[in-house]
Amino acid sequence: MTRAADRAEAERLFAHFRAEGAVPVDADILLPAGTLLDLYGEDIRARAYVTHDPLEGEMMLRPDFTVPVVQKHMAHGAEPARYTYMGEVFRAQEHRGERAREYLQVGYEVFARDNPPDADAEVFALFANLLAPLSLKAATGDLGILMAAVAGLTTSERRKAALMRHIWRPRRFRALLDRFGGRTPVAPTRRALLAALAANPAEDLIAAAGPAIGLREPEEITARAVALAQDAEVPPISAGEVAILDDLLDLRGNCTGALAHLRDIMVDMPAITPAVDRFAARLEALARRGVDVAALDFEASHGRTTLEYYDGFVFSFYAEARPDLAPVASGGRYDALTRVLGQGRSIPAVGGVIRPGLVAQLTEGRA
C-alpha cells in the first residue's frame, strides 16, 4: 500500500505542475556516465550506481533529472519554458540505514531570461504553497554570494579556481582557505618537495625518481610540480579577506537580517554587490508572492553538500521534528549548468524537486 500511496502523491504533484503550464518531459533511467563525471568529477561515483554497457561504455542509474532535462532544453527547447517530470532516481548510500536508495521524484524547472529573481520566487512560492499542509520548515541560501566573494579575493587565479572547485566540499574548502591564508603550516613533505623544485628542474627530479608508476604522464606530473612551485610564491590571502569569508560562511538568520549584514560586508568586499542586489530583488519578489521574508531562514552555506550544479539561490523544505528524514523538497538556480551543457549557449534556469514518498508518509503519519 505504501508504494501505491507514494505513486498517487506523485501523480497529484505532477498534475499540479502541469496545471501551472509545465510541459512533461521524460528522461532515460540509464544515463551516460561521461557527462556526469565531467560535471562532478569522480566524487559522483560514491553517490551513484555505475554499470558498464558493451556498446555505450560506462552508464549511471539516473541520480536526478536536472542534467537530462537541461540537455533536452538546450538541444530543442523554446524560450521561456517550464518543465515537469516524475520518476525514480537512484542514490547510493555509504552506510546501511533508513535513507532510500531508490525513490520517486517530481520536479518543476523554469528556463527564462527575464527577471531571474522573480523566477526564483515563482518556484519557491509554488513549492511552499503545495507543501503548506505539512507545516515544513523552509531553509534558503545563495551560493552566488559565496562564489562572488571567492572571485573577488586578492590572490592568484589558480587559488581562486581551487576554492571555487571545492565550494561543495566544505572540509576541503576550509583546509584550502586556511592554507592559502597562512593559517596552517606547510607540511614537511610539501616543504621538501618545494625545496627540491627550487634547486632542480621538475623534469630532472622525475627522471631521477625511476620508472613511472601509475596513469599520469610525465608531462602532467611536471605541470603539477611547476604549479606547486609557482603557488608557493603567492602571498597569503589577507587576514581581512579571510575574515570576510569566515563571516559569510557563518552567516545565518532571517532573510531581512541577512540582507542588512550583507550590505555591511559589501563595504569591504564590493565584488559581492551584484549577488547581494539579486538577493534583495528575490526577497522583494517573494514578498509580492505572499512569502514572509522576515520569518524565512537564510544560511549563506546552505546547499554546499548537494549535487554540484547550483550557483545561486538554493532552498529546501524539511520536517523540523524529524531530523532523520531527508529534505522533503529542495532546489535552486543552476545557470552555469546550462552554459556547460549548451556548448556555449546558456539561459538562466531554476527548479526544484519534491519527494512524494515523504509527502505521503508525513500526510498519513507513517513518518
Mean pLDDT in the chain? 88
More confident residue, 50 or 230: 50
Strand partners, 349: 111
Strand order, beta sheet including 102-111 = 23-24, 81-90, 102-111, 349-354, 329-333, 313-318, 137-142, 297-299, 252-254
Least confident of 29-38, 172-181, 185-194: 185-194
Q: Does pTM top 0.85 for this prediction? A: yes
Residue 244 lies in a domain: no
Confidence at 101, pLDDT banded by 50, 70, 90: confident
Spatial separation of the C-alpha atoms in residues 139 and 314, rounded to whole Å:
8
Q: How many domains does the chain have?
A: 1
Strand order, beta sheet including 57-61 = 30-32, 57-61, 50-53
Domain coverage including residue 222: 156-237
Angle separating helix axes 273-288 and 255-268, nearest 10 degrees: 160
How confident is the model over 238-283, as pLDDT tens digits?
A: 999 999 999 999 999 999 999 999 999 999 999 999 999 999 999 9
| Per-residue pLDDT at 176 | 94
Residue 227 lies in a domain: yes
CA neighbor of 286 nearest in space, from 94, 140, 185, 96: 140
pLDDT at 69 over 80: yes
How confident is the model over 116-172, as pLDDT tens digits?
A: 999 999 999 999 999 999 999 999 999 999 999 999 999 999 999 999 999 988 999
Is residue 30 within 8 Å of 62, Cβ to Cβ? yes
Least confident of 36-50, 102-116, 232-246, 261-275: 36-50
Residue 174 lies in a domain: yes
Q: Please state the rounded mean pLDDT for residues 65-93.
A: 90
Spatial separation of the C-alpha atoms in residues 104 and 62, rounded to whole Å:
11
Residue 143 lies in a domain: no
- In order of 16, 90, 99, the CA distances from 93 in angstroms are 31, 10, 7
Residue 228 lies in a domain: yes
Residue 79 lies in a domain: no
Residue 113 lies in a domain: no
Residue 246 lies in a domain: no
Is residue 66 within 8 Å of 309, Cβ to Cβ? yes
Residues in Cβ contact with 172 at an 8 Å cutoff, skipping those fewer than 6 apart: 166
Spatial separation of the C-alpha atoms in residues 312 and 334, rounded to whole Å:
7
